Structure 1
Amino acid sequence: MTKSPIDPGGNLHEPLNDVMARISSELVDVAELIERLEPLLSNGRSTEFLASPDHMRVMQGIDLAVQKARGLAGFIDGIGERLDSDHLIDITTALNLITLEDMKRRLKASIHAAPSAEIYQKASGDLEFF
């Protein structure tokens, strides 16, 4: 961390608490995407399927993943809220590790994009190959 908004190499720095808020928002988005799987797995297909121990483990795993993502989001928010806005960080290298372009855009400070869960809900029926 540094107190200078621009280092000698020309890299921009931004408040760490802002970065952490964006990460938290991404985790909430992940939780929402995972939650949308639950109805697909419990749509009343058959009583055998619903009574299956394997199916119940999958459902419990989905629920646990959602709780963990939301818990981590809250934890990161809690830490970020207590950071001084003078704590600056350059996230360029970290952003280069992210392969999902929409997530990378949302994590950049100057970009305000809709969360993935919202985009995919509106694009129902569309198909994107990757």
Structure 2
Amino acid sequence: MSLPHRHDQDTRAEPITDVLARIQVELEDIARRIDHNQAAIAKTTWATGAADRDYVKAMQDADLSAQRIAGIADFLRAIRGASLPGWRVDTSAATGALKLTELARAIGSTTEAIERKDEAAAGNVDLF
């Protein structure tokens, strides 16, 4: 984070409120997708899975994960509201650390073009 922007500062710095807003939107989307997926899975599997303690715990964990992620989004919204408009941050290094292209494009630095990442570096997708 840096002090309010001056003309001689790095031009890659952007308002922290913009960065927080992008992260907040992404977290809200993740929470929504978890809720949607959990409901779809439960609709198909609840009749047979409800008797399995591990299944019920996994469904409860998914629900709690969605709630926690939505809570973090709300927390970031509050911080954004309390942030001074002149606060700026250069997120280029953080953007470079993201392994998923679409995530980098969604929350990463808006001052540089995001090129396609090596998605294999992010890990395998487990299909059951």
Q: What's the TM-score once normalised by structure 1's chain length?
A: 0.74
Match status 1:109 vs 2:75: no
Residue aligned with 1:86, SS: coil
Where in structure 1 are there 5+ consecutive unaligned residues? 112-128
User: Counterpart of 1:117?
Assistant: none
Could you tell me how far apart the structure 2 residues matched to 1:49 and 1:88 are? 49
User: Counterpart of 1:126?
Assistant: none
Residue aligned with 2:17, SS: helix
User: Counterpart of 2:91?
Assistant: 91
Where in structure 2 are there 5+ consecutive unaligned residues? 113-123
Deviation for aligned residue 1:44: 4.6
Q: Is the 8 A contact 1:5 1:12 kept in 2?
A: no
Could you tell me how far apart the structure 1 residues matched to 2:33 and 2:98 are? 18
Could you tell me how far apart the structure 2 residues matched to 1:77 and 1:46 are? 35
User: Counterpart of 2:5?
Assistant: 4
Q: What's the TM-score once normalised by structure 2's chain length?
A: 0.75
- Number of residue pairs aligned between Structure 1 and Structure 2: 112
Give every structure 1 segment of 4 or more consecutive aligned residues whose post-TM-superposition deviation is greater than 2 Å: 2-8, 43-48, 108-111
Deviation for aligned residue 1:47: 3.5
Instruction: Calculate percent identity across the aligned residue pairs.
Output: 25
Superposed CA RMSD in Å reads 2.5
Instruction: Name whichever of 87-96 and 102-111 sits farther off.
Output: 102-111
